[in-house]
Amino acid sequence: MGKNSYVVLAFHQVVLHLLSATGTMPNGSVQRMLMWMVMILLIEFITRYTPAVLGRKPVLKVP
């Protein structure tokens, strides 16, 4: 498994449902591309600011 598989598995249906619930996004390739852009931003946020959610230890920066 990839290192971000859990995030994608947990959130891709939620993001896709939210995009389709707005009614402005037609079901197709544009919606999927927007979903993956949101997922990439969500993955970056979770791995950078809340690594404990994924079971990782946070990296402590020592001055």
pLDDT tens digits along 14-57: 888 888 777 666 667 788 888 889 889 998 998 888 888 777 77
Q: Would you say 25 and 31 are in contact if contact means Cβ atoms under 8 Å apart? A: yes
Answer whether residue 1 shows pLDDT above 70: no
pLDDT score, position 27: 66
pLDDT score, position 36: 87
Q: Where are the domains of the chain?
A: 5-53
For residue 46, the tally of other CB atoms under 10 A from its CB is 19
pLDDT score, position 26: 66
Question: Angle at Cα 40 formed by Cα 39 and Cα 45, nearest 5°?
Answer: 95
Residue among 1, 14, 2 at smallest CA distance from 42: 14
